[in-house]
Chain A
Amino acid sequence: MLRGRCAARLAGKGKRVLLVLHTHWNGGDHPRLLLWAEDSSAPRPPARKRSAATPRARAHPFCATPARLQAVLEGTTGLGKGKAELTLPSGRFGPLPSPDLVHDWDLADAEPPRLVEWVVSGLMVPPADVPELLSSRLAPASLPPGVVLGADARFWRLVSGLALEALAKQELVPDLTVDGDGTKALARWRPVLDSPMDASRLSRLAQAMPPVCRAAHQPGQEPPASSALLKSFLDEVVDALARRWASSAALQIAERQDPVQQWLGGLFSDDGRVRASRAQLQALAHSHKAWLRNLRLAGDASYRVALRLEAPLQRAAAQDRAGLHAGAQGDEWHLHYLLQAADDPSLLLPAELIWKGGGTVLEHVGHRFDRPQERLLAGLGYAARLCPPIAASLKARHPVAARLDSQGAYTFMRETAPLLEGAGFGLLVPPWWGKPGARLGVRLRLHASPDRVRSKSGDGSVSPGQLSYRSLVGFEWQVAVGDTTLSHEEFQSLVALKSPLVQIRGQWVQLDPEQVEAAVQFWQKQQAAGEMELPEALRLALGGEVATLADGGQLPIDSVEAEGWLGEVLRGLSASEAMEQLPQPAGLQGQLRPYQRYGFSWMHFLRRFGLGACLADDMGLGKTIETIALLLHEKERQGSLPAPALLVCPTSVVTNWQREVQRFAPALKTLVHQGSSRLRGEEFAHAATASDIVLTSFATLRQDAPMLLRLPWYAVIVDEAQNIKNASTQQARAVRALPAAFRIALTGTPVENRLSELWSIMSFLNPGYLGSQDSFRKSFAIPIERYGDENAARRLKQLIGPLVLRRVKTDPTVIQDLPEKQESKVYCNLTEEQATLYEAVVKTSLERVETSEGIERRGLVLSLLMQLKQICNHPAQYLHQGEAAAREPRPLASRSGKLARLTDMLEEVVAEGDRALVFTQFAEMGQLLRDYLPGALGCPALFLHGGTPAAKRDEMVARFQGDDGGPMVFVLSLKAGGTGLNLTRASRVFHFDRWWNPAVEDQATDRAFRIGQRRNVQVYKFVTTGTVEEMVDEMIESKRGLARAIIGTGEQWLTELSTDALRDLVRLRRNAVEE
């Protein structure tokens, strides 16, 4: 949770950094991109009178200064400053902030907003630097905490990616522009995006452009059209970058006087000037324009010329016994001429109709074709240059098709068609062209038997059916055409036909020469069979598309067949119903819900094949209990675990795990390995072997790695796996190095959305499965995260799908299993600072309590308990440090175990888009939380306490319940409003500290859980272990039934305790203090 912690550090210093970045493109004479930002740390803009006529635009009141931008954004110090005048919706207080800005200002205004001009200032980015800035530096993952991109910045970011695409694909022409009076000419690189896909994308981009992008204009004039701005951006950026990048290949101008050479040279120079006389420029422009006419010959926005290739009819007599028939000389393929409507590609007009119908306008099925005959002829005239058979067909008066033989048909499809398609023609090829059934491919057969594995691990320690990740799988490649596997002889006869288009059993098949060659090599080198490791077999089976052979040739993989247990794995991985569901372990205290049973059966299933599992359920669904169930199941089945399991988790969670194991599976013996008094060396080894689960923290793992690496672990389980999201950190490396029979990662975040995190976790769970980090970045991370490549996303999903299980609270299968209200305890530790304060208070107070009695005693006891509660909350609260605490160098969350844990949990809640209530009985704590949380979480927080006026309270409730971009966390004091508050928007409730009276607590909780609550609500009660909080909690739990009768509504009952009982209650158990 990198962001939160950094922000916490900064927030600890009292700064809230919330900037919304905007990028403005002014497509004018000197086009530049202006980077500016709204800054919420500015004071609230003052109210202004609405004046009818504003002499000139004022400065935007909360626009970040250029200096501030340079300070916040890395690498921008070289950029110059600039300004722009933008027309923005404004109200009484000036321009209205954009919806992304998180601010505190009260900008209520009765009147509707008007458009008013404002001057914004920022940094100017020259066109050539725009993609680097937008795509790389301002990538959301690289932004500092508290800085977000406005919608317009995200928009231009995508457009600059499109510019890069045009450059990468070389979709540019060298252009020449001559200005009005013919004296000044420029050579430019112009992008040409005229394919149907491009036209569709450009149209959507124009629609997507946020209106703010067009906001720079003179009053009274119309704002620029979005397509014009888009074109201007693409033209400028492409030209600037092409010029810069081509400079390494710059031409030497031999003849300075030659206008053509001047033009070519201008493509590489800084200013692009073409120096020539007016007449020369006129001549050159004329020639250039004629040259470019060729771009338009295939068609335009309404329709285009299309060609359809038709295979000859089958000639039964000519086939040989094997059903093979090569394209013979007499075979006639026909290339039909048609016109195709642009908006409905299925609407095709054959040439026959065109010749019969109107010459000027043809109406057909509601579509109108202008000048169809001439367009057809123009297109054919162009195509004739590339394809001799078409030229030959033009000898007719009214040509309708061209005739080709098999070789000609193959050449057409392989070579001519791509060029024509690129030129904008429609190409309709036979349905079998390029399909797996109609070309050479390979089939992969995988077979594996358990025998082999059993013989590998001679000792009986691994039971039958259990495999290691390094198991070997036998494979065999076969050459096939569609469904038909070819025998060697058949393949050889195919090759002997020497025809690129062949009919096999009535089906036309294309034999690309390169693939034939590759297949020939195949048989020759006999690399068709062998053994490969399980991960590679899985990778090919799940996501492989192409087989790369030893000599570099490639053949497409048509299908993968797996036999034996491997087939079972693949079936089980892809069809969840096929997987066996395990029964609940006998020793489990507590009932597993159906989806939880599924979860632990799934982990078990993967474990059988040595595969590491990633359980990524939402927080609160029960990952803990599923893991415990798995280990308990193993123990029960085998009698005892062959070696202990090691569970690594954040420090603040270790105790929680221990408690949970105790609660759910008392039969499992745990050993907590952390703190300064932990065991070492032999002692540790001994104790570990004697337990079932060893719990340790990431920090301890880092320190004790050498020792922990020496023990053979049964399993390694990583909780909160986002802690190893950075593969190069020490803890990630240590975790990967631990020897284990199988591995599990638990995380609450949607891991498939953060790809570098995914790679790191997967390289722990199944090393090598996703390839090297570099190849993963190139094949998946960058295409998916930066450029939205859907193919890559789909392939990745297929690869990891079987290994990651994620359920969310809103899943239909899950939601019906969840009770409406789920309560759980969150056990936290004290920090050293808190412990010291705690013990000091206990000591002095008990002394005084002992020597007092009656009312005085009662008062002292209550005061003692109050102080201890405050210490457990946060030292700053107890010490009444208030504002001063924020200025301390130590981060606020590091001083209190509870606050640390709360921050972690709230980060997850906010990331999932849920809202939460946080209850505390102390107004001071509430204030502390309300000041601290926005910086830590990046979203606003509300605080309601007894002193909040009613109107404000209503407004806050309305914002929380209704506002979509509003506050996600609502801190409330327990006493706040006995009157009904409806806070059903919240799905999580945190009790930061407890009022030791269940009735009062429940009532507070129920403010979230009321009629109208559609979500299930999770309630977390924070308990600091080893302290009075835990003791009292246990007491309340054990007496729950009687509690209501005895306890009443107050905490008075505590004062009735004897001093000894009291001492026992408040004494600090040191072993739970975190190191």
Chain B
Amino acid sequence: MRQKRRSRPLREPYQSEHDGYYDGFGRPREASGGIKARVQRGAATSNWWSKRWLQALNRLIDPGRLQRGRSYARKGQVLTLDEAEDGLVTASVQGSQPRPYKVTIRLRPLTDEQWQRVINALASQAAFAAHLLAGTMPEDIEQAFAAAGVSLFPDRDADLETDCSCPDFANPCKHIAAVYYLLADRFDEDPFMIFRLRGRTQDEVLAELRRLRTPEGSAPPDHEAETPEAPLPLDSDPSRFWALGLPLDSIALQLTPPVVELPLLKRLGDPPFVVHASLQEILAPAYRAISEAALAAAFAEPDIAIAASDAAPAESAGDREPGA
């Protein structure tokens, strides 16, 4: 891993080797509003995918140095994280200096020929395309890459090009390491990000897979945007202006509890960005309370204040008894 140095510090060289904090430059400043990594000690909810990324990094980089970034990442010292169109990752990280440091990371893209081999391997099983299209990374994706003689994750020094404006000479510095951890989170949510960083967008990969599946390859029509409904002008005829367009009794309601509890959370699955517990567990009491209250409200007796006050006189007037 090469490290380009932007500026030379005016102080003596540091002597850090232990924990990232006490490297002679002092504690990092409190960062407010930074992005916190979800990486936990032995986190069960952390996706296998991001674990693989970190494993791959661990092979390339000194594990101790990687660790330094972890505490930064968990504390939220990374203030911004952006991905440019050409695959360059930039971030700003709050260090000990008042001004945050700028970090850039670039993965070396695969060559066209390498991608061709990968795509051929991906096309051999529907599972790959199916999972990618469904928004998850298939578990054996690396095997497909391996079959093409390529590694998806960086496995050589030459694969990673990084830079940081901090004065630390360490390799990687804790700022870059912190960004590595945050990238792990991003990969969780967006499996195709790793593809982009290695030179292909999702659309490009899918298009090539599609081409392999069926040779005719006309350009796919654009995903049709929902044409907004053209609102009808108001009708000035009073008999229609105030009236219903359809009889209401043709629309029925079903006020029942759900057949399966938490149906939507179950459909969606647990989100990766909620780490401290399962979202279903967290929100189940709320959903239940909402459902019960809704049913109670639906079946409540209407306020019978009006009816009751009429019932008494109506009863005695029931047979038109004057003065009864």
Q: Is B125 an interface residue (CB 8 A)?
A: yes
- Shortest CB–CB separation between residue B77 and chain A, in angstroms? 12
Task: Tell whether, in the assembled complex, residue A170 and residue B303 are in contact, meaning their CB atoms are under 8 Å apart.
Answer: no
The answer, yes or no, to whether A479 is at the interface (CB within 8 Å) is: no
Given the interface pairs A136-B302, A788-B253, A790-B252, the reply to whether A652 lies near B320 with Cβ below 8 Å is: yes
A290 and B272 CA atoms in complex are apart in Å by 10
Contact A113 B236, beta carbon cutoff 8 Å: yes
The answer for the CA separation of A150 and B274 in the assembled complex, in Å, is: 47
Contacts of B300 in A (CB 8 A): 132, 136
B231 sits at the interface (CB 8 A): yes
Closest to B214 in A: A359
Return A700 CB to nearest CB of chain B, in Å.
Answer: 9
Specify which chain A residues have a CB less than 8 angstroms from the CB of B98 in the assembled complex.
Answer: none
Jot down 26 A-B pairs with beta carbons below 8 A, ordered by A: A2-B310, A2-B311, A5-B313, A99-B242, A161-B255, A165-B253, A165-B294, A168-B255, A168-B294, A168-B298, A223-B234, A225-B230, A227-B229, A228-B229, A248-B289, A278-B33, A294-B268, A361-B221, A374-B210, A378-B133, A381-B134, A394-B127, A418-B260, A699-B319, A699-B321, A831-B322
One digit per residue, 1 when the CB lies within 8 angstroms of any chain B CB and 0 when it does not, for chain A 430-471 equals: 000000000000000000000000000000000000000000
Distance of A361 Cα from B210 Cα, bound (Å)? 12
Query: A381 near B233 (CB under 8 angstroms)?
Result: no
What residue of chain A has the Cβ atom nearest to residue B123's Cβ? A397
Question: Is A925 engaged at the interface, CB distance under 8 Å to the other chain?
Answer: no
8 A Cβ contacts from A762-799 to B: 777-778, 782-783, 786-790
Whether the pair B306, A74 counts as a contact (CB closer than 8 A) is yes
Chain B 123-142 residues near chain A, CB threshold 8 A? 123-127, 129-136
Tell me whether A394 and B125 are in contact (CB under 8 A).
Answer: yes
Q: Is the CB of A245 within 8 A of B313?
A: no
Question: Taking CB as reference atom, which chain B residue is nearest A138?
Answer: B302
- List CB contacts (< 8 Å) of A147-188 with chain B: 150-152, 154-155, 158, 161-162, 164-165, 167-174
Contact B291 A207 (CB under 8 A): no
- Of chain B, the residue at the smallest CB distance from A38 is B242
Range, interface on chain A: 35 or more
Residues in A with CB closer than 8 Å to B213 are 355, 359, 373, 398
User: With A87-B234, A246-B289 as given contacts, are A164 and B298 in contact (CB-CB < 8 Å)?
Assistant: yes
B285 to chain A, nearest CB (A): 4
Known: A74-B306, A295-B268, A297-B134. A99 touches B34 (CB 8 A): no
Please state if A209 and B290 are interface contacts (CB–CB under 8 Å). Answer: no
Q: Do residues A204 and B221 form an inter-chain contact, with CB atoms below 8 A?
A: no
Residue contact B320 to A154, C-beta cutoff 8 Å: no
Query: Quick check: is A497 within 8 A (CB to CB) of the other chain?
Result: no
A419 near B314: Cβ-Cβ < 8 Å: no
Chain A residues within an 8 Å CB radius of B320: 650-652, 893-894, 897, 900, 1074
Question: Which one of B20-28, B59-67, B243-251 is at the A interface?
Answer: B243-251
Query: Is B228 interfacial (CB-CB < 8 Å)?
Result: yes
Q: Which of A498-506, A723-731, A859-867 contacts B (4 or more CB under 8 A)?
A: A723-731
- Residues on A with C-beta less than 8 A from B126 are 377, 380, 394-399
- B residues in contact (CB < 8 Å) with A: 32-36, 76, 79-81, 123-127, 129-136, 189-190, 206, 210-211, 213-214, 216-221, 224, 228-269, 271-276, 279, 282-283, 285-291, 293-295, 297-307, 310-311, 313-315, 317-324
In the assembly, what is the distance between CA of A137 and CA of B289, in Å? 23
Quick one: closest B residue to A378, CB to CB? B133
Given A152-B242, A210-B243, do A167 and B291 touch, yes or no (CB 8 Å)?
Answer: yes
* Cα distance, A214 to B76, chains bound together (Å): 48
B290 near A207 with CB under 8 A, answer no
Given known pairs A74-B305, A891-B317, the reply for A787 and B253 (CB within 8 Å) is yes
CB of A833 closer than 8 Å to a CB of B: yes
Q: Are A165 and B255 also in contact (CB < 8 A) when A89-B241, A650-B319, A778-B299 are? A: yes
Interface residues of chain A: helix, strand, loop or mixed (majority): helix
Measured in the bound complex, the distance between the Cα atoms of B282 and A288 in whole Å is 16
Say which one of A256-264, A488-496, A946-954 lies at the interface with B. Answer: A256-264
A169 to B269, CA, bound (A): 18
List chain A residues, Cβ under 8 A from B268.
173, 291-292, 294-295
Q: With a CB–CB cut-off of 8 A, which chain B residues contact A260?
A: 273-275
Q: Contacts of A385 on B, CB cut-off 8 Å?
A: 134, 136, 269
In the complex, which residues of chain B have a beta carbon less than 8 angstroms from the beta carbon of A142?
302-304, 306-307
Counting from the closest, the 7 A-B pairs by CB-CB distance are A277-B33, A381-B134, A381-B130, A394-B127, A167-B294, A378-B133, A651-B319
A268-324 contacts to B (CB < 8 Å):
268, 276-280, 283-284, 286-288, 290-295, 297
Question: Is there an interface contact between A283 and B266, defined as CB atoms closer than 8 Å?
Answer: no
Q: Are B32 and A419 in contact (CB under 8 A)?
A: no
A279 touches B80 (CB 8 A): yes
* Contact (A144, B306) CB under 8 Å given A210-B241, A723-B318: yes
Report the Cα distance A1041→B287, complex, angstroms: 81
In the complex, which residues of chain B have a beta carbon less than 8 angstroms from the beta carbon of A136? Answer: 297, 300-303
Q: Which residues of A contact B265 (CB under 8 A)?
A: 173
Residue of B nearest to A1075 (CB): B321
CB distance from A416 to the nearest CB of B (A): 11
Bound CA span A74–B290, Å: 27
Task: Let me know if A287 and B189 touch, CB within 8 A.
Answer: yes
Residue of B nearest to A144 (CB): B306
Q: Which chain B residue has the least Cβ–Cβ distance from A132?
A: B297
Q: Which of chain A's residues has its CB closest to B272's CB?
A: A287
Instruction: Please determine whether A173 and B264 come into contact, CB atoms closer than 8 angstroms.
Output: yes
Q: Are A204 and B251 in contact (CB under 8 A)?
A: yes
Told that A789-B252, A789-B253 touch, could you supply 15 new A-B pairs with CB distance under 8 A? A113-B238, A170-B257, A222-B233, A260-B274, A279-B79, A290-B189, A357-B214, A358-B216, A370-B220, A373-B213, A374-B206, A394-B127, A698-B318, A731-B315, A782-B299
Q: Do B324 and A699 have beta carbons less than 8 Å apart?
A: yes
Closest B residue by C-beta to A257: B76
With A377-B133, A391-B127 as known contacts, state yes or no: A895 contacts B322, CB within 8 Å: yes
Report yes or no: B33 in contact with A279, Cβ–Cβ below 8 A.
yes
Interface centre among B79, B125, B133, B250 (most CB of A within 10 A): B133
Contact B242 A210 (CB under 8 A): yes
The proximity string for A residues 353-394 relative to B, scoring 1 for CB distances below 8 Å and 0 otherwise, is 001011111000000001101100111111011000001001
Distance in angstroms from B257 CB to nearest chain A CB is: 6
Q: Is A9 an interface residue (CB 8 A)?
A: yes
Specify which chain B residues have a CB less than 8 angstroms from the CB of A291 in the assembled complex: 189, 268, 271-273
Tell me the bound Cα distance from A540 to B56 in angstroms: 69
Q: Are the C-beta atoms of B130 and A394 separated by less than 8 Å?
A: yes
- Distance between A506 CB and nearest chain B CB, rounded to angstroms: 32
Beyond A164-B297, A242-B290, whether A699 also contacts B239 by CB under 8 A is no
The reply to whether the CB of A978 lies closer than 8 angstroms to some CB of chain B is: no
Closest CB-CB distance, B127 to chain A, in whole Å? 4
Of A165, A418, A895, most buried by chain B (CB within 10 Å of CB) is A165
B127 touches A201 (CB 8 A): no
B302 and A141 contact, CB distance less than 8 A: yes
> Cβ of A890 < 8 Å from any Cβ of B?
yes
**Contact A137-B210, Cβ < 8 Å, known A87-B234, A222-B233, A723-B318:** no
Cα A377 to Cα B134 in complex, Å, equals 8
A208-B244, A291-B273, A788-B253 known; A729-B322 Cβ under 8 A: no
